[in-house]
Structure 1
C-alpha cells in the first residue's frame, strides 16, 4: 500500500494564504479521511490525515507515491458556524470541471490544490509523464507543456517547486458528502458550460425555455412590474423592470446562454468581415514589447502575440481615411470593449460600438480606435490572461508608432470587462515605461493621458462578495450571479493559467481586490473617470477602485460618479437615456 504522510511541510505551515478560512475566520486545519489504493490492490487503506483549506476553499493535501497510479478520495467535514448541522448524503452521476494546481517536490510530494466544489472527490492520477498526459482530460495546456513541466519539476529538486493550473473534466460515478453547515452552495458541483450547444439538444432546450418565458415568466414579470412598491427601485419604470428581468435570463451571459451558448455570432480576432463602409486594419503582433512579469506569464500560459483586427470610428460629420497621421494636438480614443471577457466584438456593427460612438460625441477626439482582442474560450479554456493584454498592447503600439499619436493624447476607454483590460494596459505601461521607451515612441515617464472606466469589472476574486455587498444583494441587476454560470466560468477562464488565489492578489487581474496580499499601486496612472450604476453588482468594486486610485493619484485626478438607480453598463440601455446623458456630460467636463 502507499505510504501516507500526516504532516504539512514547513514551507506551507506559515505561508499565506493557506492558514486562513473565508467562512469561519479560524485556522483552516481540519482532520480529513484520506483513502489510497494501489492499482493491484482491491481494498482501501484509510488513514487520518491533516488537510489545509485556504481562504478561497482550495484543498491542499500531501501524499507520497511509489507506484504509477494513485487513486485518492477525500472527505472533509467543516465545523458548523452555528448550532446544528445539516448533513445529507446522496449519490449521482456527475460531469464537472475541477481546477487544480500540481506542485511536484523532488519526485516525492504531490500537492493537489483544487477548488473544493465537492467535498468528496474521486479521480485517477497517473504520475508517469505520458500516462499522466494521455489519461486525464486536460484543458488549457497542450501535452508538450505538461511534459516539460513535469520533467522540470522532477529534475530541479526541492529548492525549486513549480505550479501549473489546468482543468480536469471529471466523468465518474462518485459519492458526494454534503456537510455544508449552512454554507449554501459553497460545495456544489460546477456544471460544465455549453453542455447543450449541439443539436438537437440546443433546439429542444431553447423551445422549452421560450415556452416557460412566455407562459410563466412574463406574466410573473408583468405582475411584479405594475405595482410600484414591488419594483426593485421606486424610480424604475414598468418597462425598465420588465426588460431587466428579461435581459437577466436571455442575455448572452445569462443562464440560458450558459447551457446552449450565445444566441448570435459576432466577429472575432480571426477575420475582418467584408462589411461596406467599415474602416478596419490588421494589427501585426508585437512580441518585442513583451517584457517583465507579463512575458513570463505569457510563456507559462502558452499565449503568444498574434495578428488581430482593429476598427476606426469617426466622429459624426467627419470622414478621416484609415491611418491618417494626426494633426498637432489631436486626440484619439482607444476603446477596449467589454462582454464578460467571453462575448461581443469591437466591430462597429456590434452593440458595443455604441459606447465608443457616444463618448466620441462628447469628447475633443476626432477619431476612435477599437481593438478586436481575443476572447476567453470556455469549453475548453483558451486565451487566458495575458492574451487580451498582448492584443491591446499591439493596438496601443499602432496608434503611437505607426499612426503617430502622442501618448499624452490617447484617451483610454473601457466598459465592464473592457475596464479591466484598460487597467491592465495602463499598469503594463507604467510598470515597464523605462524599457518600453527604448522600444517605441514613449517618454521615460508615464504619459499624462486620460482614462474612462464605465462599470469596470475590476475584481475577479471574491473580496467583494461579502454579506450586504452589491455583488450578492443587487440581484435585480441584469447581470446574473457572479458565483455561477458564465460569470463564474469567465472568472475561472480569464485567470486559469495562474495558481489558485491569483484572482485575489494579482493587480493585473483584480486591481480593486480588498485582499490584504493584493498590493496594487496606481502611481503614474492616467487621470481617471469612473462611473458605476447605483443598482449594479459591480458598484462596490467601483467604490474600492476609486478609493485606491485617489490614495495614489490624489483626489483631483480621480472623478467618480454613480448613476442613480442605474444597471450595469447603462450606456448601452435604451431605457437609461436620461442617466446616460448625465454621465456623458460629466465625461465631457472631465475631458475639457
Structure 2
C-alpha cells in the first residue's frame, strides 16, 4: 500500500480489523512464550513486562501505519477535565526570536492539565513548587490525557514534593505548519504561562520524556541563548530540568539508527514510529548548523546554569546516547546527574505503574530530588 493509504478510509477500517484480530491471537501466544523465563527479552524481566512490551510494539506499529496522532483523545480528555484544564495563550512576539521567529510555523494557544488543580487567587505562590512536564511521542503522538498525566503527577508530588504538576501537550507534527520549531514554540508558550502566574522561576522544574526530553533540552538552550546572547530578562531560567529516556541522537535515518542500537530488540519502541517522527518533524529545506543542535543535541553540548537530571533505563535502546549526552553536558562544567534505572525499558516515568516498576521510579525521582537539593 503506497504512502499513508492505511490512514484513510476504507483502508483504515480494514487495517484496524486486522490489528484487533492480530492482537486476539498474539496476546495468548506472548503469555505462552514468555512463561519460560529464558525466552523473555531479559530473563530478569517479569512475565508482565515481557508481554506488555510485545503488545506495546504492536500498538505503536498500528498507530504508525494509520498515522493516528492521538490528538483527538487528548482534546477529549481536556474537555472532560473540568477544573484541571488550562489554555496557555501565545506570549508576546518578542518571546519567539531567532529560530522560533514565526514563519511557516507560528505560535498557537496550547493546553494542559493541572494536577491536582491550578493555583488560585488564594494560593500562596511563595511556597509553590511546580513541575512543568511534557510527554513524549516521537514528535507525532500526543499523550497529554488525564490518564497519562496522573501517574507522572503522583510521583512528582510524593517524592519530589511538587505542590503541582502541569502536564502540557504541545502540538505534534502533522503537517508543514507543525514541523520544527512548532513544538519548541509551544514549550516557550507553556513556560511563559507558568511564569505569568507569579510562580518563582527557581521553583519551576522542567520535565520531559523521550522526544519531549529533546524539547526540554531545546528550551534550555533557547533560554540560555536569550540570556547570554540577547540579554533578555523576560524569560528567567528555571530551578532545574529532568529528562527521561531522552531522544537526543536524531538523524534522517532514525529507523535504521534504532535498529543498530544496543537493546533495540528488547525495547518497546519500533523503527517505523521513529522514522515517521523525523519525517514529520524535520524542517523542510536545509538543516543548517544553527538548527541541528536543537533537533539532535548529542555532540552539541552547551553551557547552562540549570541543574540537569538525566534518566535512562539500562534495557532501552536510547541508554547509550542518553548517557553520552549527559557526559558531554557535564564536561562543559554544568551540573548534571545521570541516573541509570535497572531493568527499565524506554520511558520509565510514563510506564512505571503499568510495568510494576514503582521501585525503580522511586529510586530515580529521589535521586533527582537529592540532586536538586544539593544544587541549591
> Into which bin does the TM-score normalised by the smaller protein fall?
0.7 to 0.9
Q: Is the 8 A contact 1:571 1:577 kept in 2?
A: no
Residues 436/468 of structure 1: CA separation in 2 closer, same or farther (3 Å cut): closer
- 1:507 corresponds to which residue? 293
Q: State how many pairs are aligned.
A: 369
For the residue of structure 2 that corresponds to 1:414, the secondary structure is: strand
Determine the structure 2 residue equivalent to 1:399.
194
Determine the C-alpha separation between the residues in 1 that align with 2:169 and 2:23.
34
SS in structure 2 of the partner of residue 451 of structure 1: strand
Measured in 1, the distance between the counterparts of 2:97 and 2:338 equals 32
Q: Matches of 1:271 and 1:387 in 2, distance apart? A: 22
C-alpha distance in 1, partners of 2:278/2:307?
27
Describe the superposition over 1:245-304 as per-residue Cα deviations: whole angstroms up to 9, x where unpaired: 111102xxx222222243953235x99515334242342343221222432xx43xx111
| Distance across 2 between alignment mates of 1:462 and 1:497 | 12
Checking the alignment, whether the CA contact within 8 Å between 2:255 and 2:275 is kept in structure 1 is no
Aligned match for 1:344, one of 130, 135, 142: 142
Where does the alignment leave 5 or more consecutive residues of structure 2 unmatched? none
Distance of 1:467 and 1:273 partners within structure 2 = 38
Whole-angstrom CA distance in 1 between matches of 2:222 and 2:232: 15
Query: 1:509-537: CA deviations, max 9, x gaps?
Result: 11114xxxxxx232124111111011112
| Secondary structure of the corresponding residue to residue 368 of structure 2 | helix
Residue 567 of structure 1 is matched in structure 2 by: 345
Q: 2:100 aligns with which of 294, 309, 317?
A: 294
C-alpha distance in structure 2 between counterparts of 1:472 and 1:500, whole Å? 27
Counterpart contact for 2:44–2:343, Cα < 8 Å: yes
Say which of 121, 126, 131 aligns to 1:333.
131
Aligned partners of 2:105 and 2:177 also within 8 Å: no
Deviates more, 1:364-373 or 1:545-554: 364-373
TM-score for both structures, normalised by structure 1: 0.57
Q: Which residue of 1 aligns with 2:37?
A: 228
Alpha-carbon offset, residue 242 of structure 1: 1.3
- Show the counterpart of 2:57: 248
CA pair 292-489 structure 1, distance change in 2 beyond 3 A:
same
Cα RMSD for the two superposed structures: 3.0
Normalising by the residue count of structure 2, what TM-score does the alignment of the two structures yield? Answer: 0.87
Q: More strand by proportion, 1 or 2?
A: 1
Which structure carries more relative contact order (alpha carbon 8 Å, separation 6+)? Answer: 2
Q: Give the Å deviation of 1:561.
A: 1.1
Q: List per-residue Cα deviations over 1:442-470 (Å, max 9, x = no partner).
A: 3xxxx372111111111222799899987
Query: Whose helix proportion is higher, 1 or 2?
Result: 2
**Equivalent residue, structure 2, for 1:591:** 372
Cα pair distance change 1:263/1:222, threshold 3 Å = farther
Q: 1:274 to 1:205 in 2, by over 3 A?
A: closer
**3-state secondary structure, aligned to 2:180:** coil
**1:546 is the counterpart of 2:335:** no
Q: Could you tell me whether the CA contact under 8 Å between 2:211 and 2:247 is conserved in 1?
A: yes
Deviation, structure 1 residue 475: 1.3
Distance (Å, rounded) in 2 between the aligned partners of 1:565 and 1:271:
32
Greater radius of gyration (CA): 1
- 1:545 deviates by 0.9
Give the corresponding residue for 1:535.
315
Q: CA deviation at 1:344?
A: 2.1
Q: Secondary structure at the match of 1:432?
A: helix
Q: What SS is found at the alignment partner of 2:304?
A: coil
Aligned to 1:487: 274
Aligned partners of 2:311 and 2:362: how far apart in 1?
13
The partner residue of 1:363 within 160, 182, 188 is 160
